[in-house]
Each structure stands twice: as C-alpha cells, then as structure tokens.
C-alpha cells in the first residue's frame, strides 16, 4: 500500500461515499491505494497506529464539519510520529476559508472542491515528480461521464450492515445561503443507464437500503420517475423482500405523474426528506430561498394523506430576520400538515456559505467551534436560543422517536410550539439534562407533565402506556389494560 484514504465517520453505519469515489478514480494508482474508515470518538493514538500499520507514503483525509476537530488531532500526531508521510486533505470543511484552519497548517496539501480527478493527479506528482509547488489545489470538475462510479466498492459487510449512499446527480440550482450547494451553478446528472446498472448490481448483491444524497432528486421528473420505477419493479417482483429508498425532494415541485408513482409504493419502502426551513416569505427572500409555500404545503399534505411514504421535514431556527413567533407559526403549520417527523435544526454557519453576509446586519453570533451553531441573533437572544436547542433535543426524544405517538398528539394540543416549549422548559428544570435520559424515566416524566397540565393521573398513565410498553409506574400497565386506546409500542420508521 502506497496511498491510504481515510475519514472519521459520524457512525459506523455511515459508509463514506467520498472515499469510494476517490478509490474508484485512482486509475493506475488504484492497486496501490486502500481505504480505512474510523468512527468519531476513537482514541487518537489507536487511529494513528492503525493508519501507519501498512506503511503508507500518502494519507488522504476526508474532512467534514463533524470530524474536523478529531481529524486535526490525528494529523498533528501523524506529523510528530511519522513526518515522512505526506498528508493530503479534502472535503467540504477544508474547501473554504482554507488559510484560517489549523488542520491545513499541519497538512502538506489540500484539494478543494471536486477531488475525483485532482487527487490522483496530485498523488502521482508527489510520488513520481515533479513535486507540487502549491499547497492548495482547486479540484477540477470533469464531465460527469468521465467519473468512475464507486458502488462496486461497497463490500458485502457494507451491504449487510451499513447505509449505502448513492447519487444520481451532484450540485443544486438553488441559492439558499445557509447551504454549501448554493455555490453550485446547477445540478449535474450522472449518465442514467450507467447509474441504474450499478444500482442493479448492488441489488443483486443483497442491497436493500439506498439513501440518495442528491440535493434535488425531483428536479428532473423524468429521471426521478425512471429511478423510482427501478425500485417499484423490485418491489413488484418480490413483495416479500422489502427494499427501502430515501430521497430529498424539492417541496413545491410534485407533478401529477410523480404523485401517481409515489402512491404505488407500499408502506416502509419510501422516505422523503423535505427541506422547508422557513415558511416566512421575508426570511426566505433574505436568504435567497425560492419556494412556493402554498404548493409546498399542499404537496406535504397530499403526501401525508395519499401516499405511504414517510416524511422527514426540515425547519431551521435562527435564520436571519426570523423571530420566535415566526418560527412558531411555521412549526405549527408543519404539525398541522401531518409530517411524520419534523427535524428541528439550529442554523450552522458552514464554511464558504453566503449566510455570512448577514452577520453584522442581524447580529449573528456563531459558536467558533464546529458545528458553528448560531448562538444569538438580533431577534433571538442567547438564553432563548438555548431553549430552542433543548426543544429540538426533547422533540427528537418524544415526538420524532415515534415512541409516544398517541401522547404527542395530546401533548401538542391546538398550540403545538407553545405547548411543547412549555414541556421542554419544565423537563429541563426537572432533569438538568438533555442526554442520557433513560426511556423509563422519560415515560414517567411525560406522564407527570400531563398531570401538571391538568390531566387526571390514571388517564395520563393510560395514555403514555398506550404508546410505551415499559413500566411507567406500577399502575401504568393496569391502566393500559382498561384504556380506550389499544396498547401499542410505536416503532420509528427506519431512517437512514
């Protein structure tokens, strides 16, 4: 082994698509190249020991917002114990504001942007000369047909145990200023026949869970339908052997032909991630987000009522120009539309994104450390932002988990944001924690809150027990046996 490609994934289940793209495109250097993945939280000395075990001459790291701090420590240690090894960085976190970063100062070279062609070329120069003169190399974007697809590099273990990330296109034509894809000029599709051939090969090897990372899967509806037809054919041919596909949809672009196809998917086969981010037109205009809110709402409602797809809808708190009242209205609207999961995120200032232009006018204060979360704005002060952070965490535990489906409907009432914020504030005063809350304890706390808001004790216990099969307290199971709602443990839909 001469070249080692590595990264620290957020979880074991996340197989790195980026490393596999690089390996697939190494050309003549392919036989000398290997990949080695780790998970964040690993001990730095152990990572370094394993990286050096094969005596590589070059180590390339994929650097992302979730792993930059740990990767910096790994690179720093490598430079101390093996200074002869050449370190090359790539990935979105080091592709912008490059000169400001400690990890870049430690490394030998950086490839910004697309690395499929530029990284192999750089490695060839490092190994055979002439030696590169520049430290930072802007990635060259090749024609899409010239990029070797990486899907054969998913191992049998990957297929059996990990999420398989795939992409039918790269880029995005939209200019939402909080997103790195706003820097793209358009979306570039891969040749569809070649892509589907690789999907066929993955399926034949046993792959059943496909997560598409395309930013705008339904931008070209004809292409979307051909891809969805691929999965429908598999489902129709073997309904007893379920397949699961995850797509990110543009919320206001759902023509009738695509709706008809979506309606054909059975339960448990399809998940859509839909970015609403904000329903406030003034905020949308401020961050250059184009969205027909009425169409988006109609489409979400249609998907909830007429399809069996699982909907994961995103909102962002802390956008410039949006106050709590505005965010609450958007949240309540989404709850009313019936989305299965509302991913309540806090704005992050990703390196290179145009959102930085609002820093002074809207007094945007960001955490200086990854993931660069907004701490305060001109309309939301720091204590209130912290309440929103806790709201988001408790929302995941109670609502998005699916464990308290019946209870959540009652808990939210007619003013979902206001009611859940009150619950969030209360549970924080009771626990002083947002993590490591055991499920049994959480169930008891939910039942206690229902009583605080006026529900009779037996009724509260029965409601929680109708969702949660654990022992809320000694009376819960007895109450559940007589509850009007049939006891049922809610299982969260598989989410990639």
Do the Cβ atoms of 123 and 58 come closer than 8 Å? yes
Q: Per-residue confidence at 470, pLDDT binned at 50, 70, 90?
A: low
Residues 378-409: tens digit of each pLDDT: 999 999 999 999 999 999 999 999 999 999 99
Q: Where are the strands (E) in 44-189, listed by range?
A: 58-62, 86-90, 109-112, 136-138, 164-166, 169-171, 187-189
| For the chain, percent of residues with pLDDT exceeding 70 | 94
- Residue 26's Cβ-side half-sphere holds a number of Cα atoms within 13 Å equal to 21
Residue 63, SS3 per DSSP:
coil
Which residues on adjacent β-strands are paired with residue 209?
Answer: 244
- Running DSSP on this structure, what letter comes out for residue 39? E
Tokens, residue 401? 């988990």
Residue 151 has pLDDT above 50, yes or no: yes
Give the pLDDT confidence score for residue 131 in this predicted structure.
93
493 pLDDT band (50/70/90 cuts)?
very low
Pairwise CA distance, residues 285 & 307, whole Å: 31
User: For residue range 196-249, what is the model confidence (pLDDT) as tens digits?
Assistant: 999 999 999 999 999 999 988 888 999 999 999 999 999 999 999 999 999 999
Q: What is the reported pLDDT for 182?
A: 85
Give the integer Cα–Cα distance in Å for 336 and 330: 10
Phi, then psi, of 196 in degrees rounded to 5: -65, -30
Residue 260 pLDDT > 70, yes or no?
Answer: yes
pLDDT digits (tens, 9 = 90+) for 68-112: 999 999 999 999 999 999 999 999 999 999 999 999 999 999 999
If you average pLDDT over residues 356-382, what whole number do you get? 97
pLDDT given at position 370: 95
pLDDT at 495 over 90: no
**Residue by residue, what is the 3-state secondary structure of 366-425?**
ECCCCCCEEEECCCCCHHHHHHHHHHHHHHHHHHHCCCCHHHHHHHHCCCHHHHHHHHHH
pLDDT for residue 484 is more than 60:
no
Query: In the Cβ-directed half-sphere of 111, how many Cα atoms lie within 13 Å?
Result: 24
Whether the per-residue pLDDT at 472 is higher than 70: the answer is no
How confident is the prediction for the chain on average, in pLDDT? 92
CATH 3.30.300.30 fits 149-380, yes or no: no
Domain positions in the chain: 3-144, 149-380
| Per-residue pLDDT at 481 | 35
For the segment(s) 3-144, the CATH number from 3.40.50.10800, 3.30.230.10, 3.55.50.30, 3.40.50.280 is 3.40.50.280
Q: Which long-range contacts (CB under 8 A, 24 or more apart) does 231-240 make?
A: 231/265, 231/269, 231/270, 232/261, 232/264, 232/265, 234/203, 235/265, 235/266, 235/269, 239/266
**Of 3-7, 15-19, 171-175, the least confident:** 171-175
Model confidence at 488, pLDDT cuts 50, 70, 90, reads: very low
| Overall average pLDDT of the 298-315 stretch | 96
Give all strands of the β-sheet with 86-90 in edge-to-edge order.
Answer: 33-39, 3-9, 58-62, 86-90, 109-112, 136-138
Distance spanning both ends of the chain, measured CA to CA: 33
């Amino acid at each position: 082994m001469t070249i080692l490609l590595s990264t620290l994934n957020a979880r074991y289940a996340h197989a790195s698509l980026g490393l596999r793209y690089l390996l697939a495109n190494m050309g003549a250097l392919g036989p000398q190249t290997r990949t080695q993945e780790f998970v964040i939280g690993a001990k730095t000395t152990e990572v370094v020991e394993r990286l050096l075990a094969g005596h590589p001459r070059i180590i390339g790291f994929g650097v992302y917002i979730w792993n930059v701090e740990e990767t910096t420590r790994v690179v720093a240690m490598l430079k101390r114990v093996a200074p002869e090894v050449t370190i090359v960085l790539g990935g979105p976190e080091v592709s912008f504001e490059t000169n400001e970063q400690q990890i870049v100062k430690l490394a030998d070279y950086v490839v910004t942007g697309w690395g499929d062609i530029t990284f192999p070329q750089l490695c060839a120069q490092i190994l055979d000369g002439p030696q590169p003169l520049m430290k930072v190399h802007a990635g060259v974007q090749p024609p899409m047909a010239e990029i070797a697809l990486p899907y054969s590099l998913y191992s049998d273990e990957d297929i059996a145990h990990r999420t398989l990330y795939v992409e039918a296109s790269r880029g995005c034509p939209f200019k939402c200023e909080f997103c790195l894809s706003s820097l793209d000029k358009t979306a570039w599709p891969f040749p569809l026949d070649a892509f589907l051939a690789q999907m066929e090969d993955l399926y034949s090897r046993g792959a059943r869970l496909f997560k598409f990372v395309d930013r705008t899967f339904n931008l070209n509806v004809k292409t979307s339908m051909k891809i969805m037809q691929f999965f429908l054919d598999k489902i129709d041919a073997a309904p007893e052997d379920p397949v699961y596909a995850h797509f990110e949809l543009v919320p206001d672009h759902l023509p009738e032909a695509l709706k008809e196809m979506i309606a054909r998917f059975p339960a448990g086969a399809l998940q859509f991630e839909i970015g609403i981010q904000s329903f406030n037109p003034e905020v949308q205009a401020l961050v250059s987000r184009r969205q027909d809110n009425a169409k988006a709402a109609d489409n979400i409602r249609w998907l909830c009522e007429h399809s069996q797809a699982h909907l994961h809808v995103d909102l962002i708190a802390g956008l410039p120009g949006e106050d709590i009242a505005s965010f609450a209205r958007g949240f309540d609207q989404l709850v009313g539309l019936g989305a299965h999961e509302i991913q309540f995120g806090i704005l992050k200032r990703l390196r290179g994104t145009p959102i930085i232009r609002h820093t002074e006018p809207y007094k945007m204060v960001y955490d200086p450390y990854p993931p660069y979360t907004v701490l305060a704005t001109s309309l939301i002060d720091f204590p209130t932002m912290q309440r929103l952070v806790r709201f988001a965490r408790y929302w995941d535990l109670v609502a998005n988990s699916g464990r308290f489906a019946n209870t959540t409907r009652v808990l939210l009432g007619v003013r979902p944001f206001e009611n859940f914020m009150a619950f969030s504030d209360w549970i924080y005063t009771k626990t002083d924690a947002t993590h490591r809350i055991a499920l049994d304890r959480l169930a008891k706390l939910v039942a206690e809150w229902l009583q605080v808001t006026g529900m009779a004790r037996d009724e509260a216990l029965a409601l929680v027990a109708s969702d949660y099969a654990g022992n809320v307290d000694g009376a819960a199971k007895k109450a559940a046996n007589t509850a009007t709602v049939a006891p049922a443990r809610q299982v969260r839909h598989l989410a990639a």
